[in-house]
Structures are given as structure tokens and as C-alpha cells.
Structure 1
Amino acid sequence: MPLRYLRAYPPALQEQVRRLLEQGKLGDYLQQRYPAQHAVQSDKALYAYTMALKQEYLRNAPGLDKVLYDSKLDVVKHALGLHTAVSRVQGGKLRAKKEIRIAGLFREAAPEFLRMIVVHELAHLREFEHNKAFYQLCEHMLPGYHQLEFDLRVYLTWRDAQPSIRPA
């Protein structure tokens, strides 16, 4: 089974995950490490959660017009979420609306994973590319960011392997 979410990681690390998956122990590992589910269930709550993090770390960054869960977001293409700027003409002026969309499947994720995804998308307000400055900003807003990103990718790998929740 190809580990599509873990392609960028070293083969030895991929092999460890593959072994746990084949032994049926990956779900137990994740449950032990991340036993809770977050309480941010509505789009309104997600907006408030995101704005609180933005206020704490990125006060001077451009504002956000919309933050929501998106059930149509392709997790394979955008594993973490999507940050967009939609440009519209209003009254002869060009206005950019900034949005963050989080894949709907993350409604049932651990609080650590939700925070990691939101931090990732917020970092795009300052840094557009996934470069060194981007990851330094993520790490500043969320110490241990890199481990959480890896564990989230392990979670997605485990989730895809479950026949009862496999996407159609």
C-alpha cells in the first residue's frame, strides 16, 4: 500500500508506519497519543477559534473574511486545508476576500490536529510559500509543529486504510 501522505519522509520512517498499519496497531498508537476530539464543530466556532489564534500571533496580518469546514475539499490535493484570496469588483474597487477552508473530515480530529491545520493556514497570511520562514512561523505559533504535521499525515494514512470510512 503506497503511503501517499508520507511520500516526503524517509523510507525507514515510512516502513515503521507501514508495519504498524499491517499489524493493525496504527489506530491504537494514534488513539493513545491523541485520545480527545476537539469541540470546534460549527463554522462559527471555527471562525472564532481561528481569529483568536490570529489575534494572538498575527495581529498585523491581513484580516480574514471567512473560515469554514468544507466537505468538498480534496484531502489528497489539500491535505491540511486551503487558504484563498477571492478577488471581486465592488463599486468600482477591487476587493480581495481572504478565506480559510478546512476539510470537513477534520471535524472529528484531535484538538492538536485542528490547531496544527489552522496554524498552517494562518501562516500563509504572512508567508505564501512553504519555505524556511513559513515553517519557522508555524513552529513559533505551535511548538512541535513538525511532529504534529507528521502525526496528522499518519492519521490520514490510517484513516484511508479503514474500509468503513474510506472516501468514495
Structure 2
Amino acid sequence: MTTLRYIAHYPEQIQTQAEMLISNGRLGDYIEKIYPSQHQIQSDKALYQYINELKNQYMRKTGSLTQVSYNSKLKVLKDALGIHTFQSRVQGNKLKSHNSITVASLFKEAPPEFLRMIVVHELAHFKEKEHSKAFYQLCCHMEPDYHQFELDTRLWLQWREL
């Protein structure tokens, strides 16, 4: 039996279905059928533009995005597909914020839906720091299929590991 560490917290029924796909050698086929293409956002500059467009569309009042990058050293093993950082400083009589997002480099090879899910997740952290109900509502506001994309991303990671 395969250890399903990426979906270990999902209901048993989903884990059973994933195990069946893996044991039949069909997990890759399942993912490639639903997500046949890879996104074209390969540079940090293109990633910055992509994330900034999403931020401006859904979170205009959030502080500006100061840095965005892919990082090959980001460890998926620590359940970190992306990282957000934020910092607020008082400068004179104004409050300045610094927001940055780092995405694991392996997502350069991912379908566009998976990259969007990660970006939406990290953007939502700028407003909601904890993984609360409000956090997931914001994620679903920016990407209505957020939960399905998250599950499929985890299945994709499991498939890559096999």
C-alpha cells in the first residue's frame, strides 16, 4: 500500500479512490486527462505580473506586492507549496507594507489551475493569516474551484513522487 502523505488528511473515501488509481497505474492518466496542458509562466517577472493581476482584481486595497519568485529550494516535504511574507512598518505618519510570495519551482511544470490555486492561497494570507473559514471563503471567492484544484494538486504531487 502506498503512503498517501499529500492527501492523508482527506476523507477515507477519497484516499481509497486515490489508492485504486495508483494500484491500477492510472493516476497519471486521470490527471493528464483533466489537466492536459502546462502553464507558460516560467520567469519570476511573468509570475509577478500574473500574481499582481490577480491581486489587483480581487484584493485592490491590500498593500502592494513587492517581490515574487520561484524557489527551487522550497521544500514540498514541509507542506510548503508556496510561502507568503508580509511586513508592516511605520514611516512617518504612514503605514507601509511589504508583501512577497515565493512559489516552489516544481510548479513551473504544473497545469495552470495548480499554479492559480497556490497563488490564490498565498494571496488570501495577506488578508487572513490563519486557515480559517474566512480564509477559505476568500480563496473560493478568487477561485470557485479552489478545493478541487487543491485536491488535484496533491494528487499530482503524489503522482510525481511515484
Q: What TM-score do the two structures reach when normalised by structure 2?
A: 0.91
1: CA distance, partners of 2:112 / 2:80: 16
Give the number of aligned pairs.
159
What are the within-5 Å matches in structure 2 for residues 72-111 of structure 1? 72-85=73-86, 97-111=98-112
CA contact (8 A) 2:71 2:105 kept: yes
AA in 1 matched with 2:81: L
Give the deviation of 1:18 after TM superposition.
1.1
AA in 1 matched with 2:105: G
Q: Please state which structure has a larger fraction of its residues in helix.
A: 2
Q: SS at 2:127's partner residue? A: coil
Corresponding position of 2:65: 64
2: CA distance, partners of 1:142 / 1:98: 21
Give the deviation of 1:81 after TM superposition.
0.6
- In the TM superposition, what whole-angstrom CA distance separates every residue of 1:94-153 from its partner, at most 9, and x where no partner exists? 975321000000000001111111111000110000000000000000011111101101
AA in 1 matched with 2:149: L
- Runs of at least 4 residues off by over 6 Å: none
User: Unpaired runs of 5+ in structure 1?
Assistant: 162-168
Corresponding position of 2:131: 130
User: Identity of counterpart residues, as a percentage?
Assistant: 56
- In the TM superposition, what whole-angstrom CA distance separates every residue of 1:59-117 from its partner, at most 9, and x where no partner exists? 001211101101000112134311113689x9xxx975321000000000001111111
Q: What TM-score do the two structures reach when normalised by structure 1?
A: 0.88
Corresponding position of 1:149: 150
- For the pair 1:48 / 2:49, whether they are aligned, the reply is yes
Residues 112 and 118 from structure 1, CA distance in 2 versus in 1: closer, same or farther, beyond 3 angstroms? same
Give the deviation of 1:58 after TM superposition.
0.2
Q: SS at 2:77's partner residue? A: coil
Corresponding position of 1:121: 122
Give the deviation of 1:15 after TM superposition.
1.2
AA in 2 matched with 1:31: E
Q: SS at 1:19's partner residue? A: helix
1: CA distance, partners of 2:5 / 2:87: 29
AA in 2 matched with 1:64: L
User: Unpaired runs of 5+ in structure 2?
Assistant: none
1: CA distance, partners of 2:132 / 2:77: 21
AA in 2 matched with 1:135: Y
Q: SS at 1:68's partner residue? A: strand
- For the pair 1:3 / 2:4, whether they are aligned, the reply is yes
